[in-house]
Amino acid sequence: MMRGLVKGDNAFVPTAPLRVAVRNGVDVAVLLLAEGGRVRGDADIVFHGAPVHSSGAVRLSEGGDGDGTVWLETGLPAVEEDITRVLVVASTESGTLRDVEGLSVAVLGTDGTAVVGYEVTDAGGETAMVLAELYRRAGGWKFRAVGQGYLDGLTGLAVDHGVDVPEDNGTEAAPDHGVDVPKAPGTEAAPDHGVDVPEDHGADTAEEAPVENRAPETRAPEPKAPEPDLPPSPPQAVAKVVEPPAQVPAAPALAPFPEPVADWTFGAFFEPHTLSGPGNDVISVEGLPPGPVVVELALRTEGYTGVWTLTPDNREDDLLVNSTEEDFRGRLLVVVPENGRLRLKLRADGPWQARVLPLAAARRLSEETMEGWGPDVLLHTGGTADAALHYRGSSNFIVDVFELAGHDDPTALPDARPGYINEIGRRRETLELPEGPLLVHLARADGPWRARLKQPRAATAWLRRARR
């Protein structure tokens, strides 16, 4: 016999494949949440456009009898270990949830017997609701009747659970103060986990003895002995104070060498070359394989930073960096000529470090949000996808894409794909990427940014619905 729950109640369910029925005529989605109550990325949203989770543990299907029931197949033993909660979400395309008759959710066992259920009786003007959740407890799984509605629809629900909600357009009207901006190297503070830690004054502190109030003792002055007549002292030499030399600021440290992307095949692989210097210089490395490489650069400076490629006769060629930002850092895309000799002119008023890396050492785009500061080189190795970019600088933001599929000359780059980003100021942009392998080149980005791959377009449509 099914156990009917009221809002807030919970009950254990078998850790086995289960069927969850959601009635009556609502849109249904499932959010798989990790520790902290947030999705790990768009792939943790299961809905009609992306009905199967990548783990295979969650699957949505419509009822075949046309009664408005949506079925959720859950293989609880197959749920990934870092997923702690599975939310069942209902929403309406028009009207509110109070208009839905018989809004309910029920859990059925493998034999079709109803185990537990919840009927929503207090829906109001909400257009989206967390109906119920399956969550881990004491080595098993429990079902909770949640019934938490959202008057602001899927927008509030999505944001509450870590979904990156897409914007209408690329411009931003106001600064985003809710985002942690990456700091210059060497300025990171200790993490604040939001816990007030009491000072440790010692477990056993001795109690101080009380001090008696006493009047100060009065003593007669000691008689002074007569001073002998001494000859005048010769003049003493005054030691000259020598100021210590000013300390030269150290160059900022480069990030640890990343693990190369194992399945990246374009361009040669080689061990990184690291260089450093006190200021204006020529960065010169010989014996490199011809073709595109990544040059990582970090400076300690308060003024201008400029980087140019140099021709064989030492003339300035391509301008790679033209920045007035303090403590510039970034990754540059540079093509090594056929002679294997890389030469870059650097104009900087402070110490610097540089590292020359193979393309395989660049970071790969994924559905996990990556953060960066300054120009960079990103890899895409999957199929067609949309990439979300959030730039929070105030100057130029220029992004190029180089398609490498079918390009068989590893010593040169193909022409950049037209129609990409060339804007100024804070932006939210979506890049429509073709099938990889390809390079996403942030050629100008004097400021912090975020990047991630969105779900395929059907899932992107669900996220855009969240803005209603």
Segment 236-277, tens digit of pLDDT: 444 444 444 445 456 666 666 667 777 798 999 999 999 999
Segment 140-164, tens digit of pLDDT: 999 999 999 999 888 899 989 998 7
Mean pLDDT on 79-84: 96
Peptide bond into 437 cis (omega under 30): yes
Mean pLDDT on 110-120: 92
Q: Which secondary structure element, helix H or strand E, spans residue 388, and what is its range? A: strand 385-391
Confidence class for position 129, pLDDT limits 50, 70, 90 = very high
Tell me: pLDDT of 106 over 90: yes
Long-range contacts of 177-186 (CB under 8 A, 24+ apart): 179/390, 179/392, 179/448, 179/450, 181/392, 181/448, 182/371, 182/372, 182/373, 182/448, 184/252, 184/326, 184/327, 184/329, 185/252, 185/253, 185/298, 185/327, 185/329, 186/252, 186/253
| Strand positions, DSSP E, 109-206 | 114-119, 128-137, 140-150
pTM score, two decimals?
0.51
Confidence class for position 3, pLDDT limits 50, 70, 90 = confident
Tell me: pLDDT of 229 over 80: no
pLDDT given for residue 44 in this prediction: 92
pLDDT given for residue 455 in this prediction: 59
Name the residue with higher pLDDT: 416 or 177: 416
pLDDT given for residue 322 in this prediction: 94
pLDDT given for residue 454 in this prediction: 80
Mean pLDDT on 75-87: 96
- Rounded alpha-carbon distances, angstroms, from residue 150 to 23, 166, 454: 18, 18, 24
Segment 9-60, tens digit of pLDDT: 999 999 999 999 999 889 999 999 999 999 998 889 998 878 899 999 999 9
Give the C-alpha separation, 292 to 320, whole Å.
14
Q: Which residues contact 378 (CB under 8 A, 6 or more apart)?
A: 362, 363, 364, 365, 370, 439, 440, 441, 442, 451
Q: Which two tokens stand for residue 92?
A: 């309406």
Mean pLDDT on 132-143: 97
**Strand 58-62 and strand 70-75: pairing?**
antiparallel
Segment 269-301, tens digit of pLDDT: 999 999 999 999 999 999 999 999 999 999 999
Q: For the chain, what percent of residues have pLDDT higher than 70?
A: 76
Tell me: pLDDT of 457 over 80: no
Q: Which secondary structure element, helix H or strand E, spans residue 305, and what is its range? A: strand 305-310
pLDDT given for residue 456 in this prediction: 54
Confidence class for position 173, pLDDT limits 50, 70, 90 = very low
Give the C-alpha separation, 393 to 391, whole Å.
6
Confidence class for position 396, pLDDT limits 50, 70, 90 = very high
Taking the CA of residue 423 as centre, how many other CA atoms within 13 Å lie in the half-sphere pointing to its CB? 19
Confidence class for position 185, pLDDT limits 50, 70, 90 = very low
pLDDT given for residue 383 in this prediction: 84
Tell me: pLDDT of 186 over 90: no
Tell me: pLDDT of 196 over 50: no
pLDDT given for residue 323 in this prediction: 93
Confidence class for position 166, pLDDT limits 50, 70, 90 = low
Segment 433-446, tens digit of pLDDT: 998 999 999 999 99
Supply the mean pLDDT for the chain.
82
